[in-house]
């Protein structure tokens, strides 16, 4: 069964959601990150997905205190992304308690460095963050485009043991209109040894049921939870089956 990974996006230490990755379309929620993480833990999920949006914008982690608090208080795996642009930044994120680091811009712009990180830390701790905008990879907090396709990006790291990819269709992110299902089905079929996480567009448990029926393995849910399109009770019932 597909695993649900709840998302927490951070600006200034607070829970937010963007629409299509646009910082000008930011909605701030009242929930504290720790409170949300504790609720997710109570639901029985095994992992949470956290993005340091401040860090993504300035290419340097900005919410490490939140990470330290979560890692110290919540017994969940934490996959953390945003602003990891150097070996020092990566070390600071892992030292602060992240189970896995999500690497996006470095992988696209400095592939040799990400290859080295895969060798140094192992594929279990390194997740490729592949953010797709109009068919090509976007970087630096989704603010800049590249000429790379997701397939060209993934191909560079297979030899180094890449086993985890979070793929976000930016056009779907925060829209609550359903995911780009064909994109994920095609990627999972092309790279069966890699776990692809569906990210962007999830609007209800119906979307998750449909992805599960197609054999997809992981899915991130964010705005749908905050907007009560998916309830914590639904996540609890699903997690009990996984």
Q: Which residues are catalytic?
A: 9, 131
Residue carrying structure tokens 């642009």: 85
N- to C-terminal Cα separation, the chain = 6
Does residue 179 contact residue 185 with C-beta atoms inside 8 Å?
A: no
Rounded Cα gap, residues 44 and 41, in angstroms:
5
Contact 35, 78 (CB under 8 A): no
Token couple for 114: 């990400």
- What distance in Å separates the CA atoms of residue 165 and residue 178, rounded to the nearest whole number? 19
Phi/psi of residue 33, nearest 5 degrees: -55, -40
Q: Quick check: 61 and 82 in contact, CB under 8 A?
A: yes
DSSP letters for 168-234: EETTTTT--S---HHHHHHHHHH-TTSEEEEES---SHHHHHHHHHTT--EEEE-HHHHTTSS-HHH
Q: Within its chain, how far is the Cα of 49 from the centroid?
A: 5
Are the C-beta atoms of residues 142 and 166 closer than 8 Å to each other?
no
């Amino acid at each position: 069964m597909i695993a649900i990974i709840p998302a927490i996006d951070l600006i200034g230490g607070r829970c937010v959601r963007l629409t299509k990755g646009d910082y000008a379309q930011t909605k701030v929620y009242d929930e504290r990150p720790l409170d949300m993480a504790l609720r997710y833990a109570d639901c029985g999920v095994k992992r949470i997905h956290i993005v340091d949006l401040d860090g993504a914008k300035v290419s340097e982690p900005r919410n490490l205190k939140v990470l330290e608090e979560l890692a110290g208080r919540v017994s969940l795996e934490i996959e953390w992304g945003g602003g990891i642009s150097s070996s020092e930044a990566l070390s600071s994120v892992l030292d602060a308690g992240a189970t896995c680091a999500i690497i996006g811009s470095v992988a696209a712009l400095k592939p040799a460095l990400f290859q080295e990180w895969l060798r140094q830390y192992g594929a279990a701790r390194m997740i490729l963050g592949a953010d797709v905008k109009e068919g090509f990879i976007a970087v630096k907090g989704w603010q800049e485009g590249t000429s790379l396709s997701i397939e060209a990006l993934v191909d560079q790291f297979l030899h180094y043991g890449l086993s985890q990819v979070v793929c976000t269709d930016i056009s779907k992110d925060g829209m609550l209109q359903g995911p780009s299902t064909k994109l994920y089905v095609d990627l999972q079929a092309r790279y069966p040894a890699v776990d692809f996480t569906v990210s962007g567009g999830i609007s209800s448990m119906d979307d998750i049921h449909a992805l599960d029926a197609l054999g997809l393995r992981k899915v991130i849910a964010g705005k749908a939870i905050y907007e009560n399109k998916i309830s914590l009770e639904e996540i609890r019932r699903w997690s009990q089956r996984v």
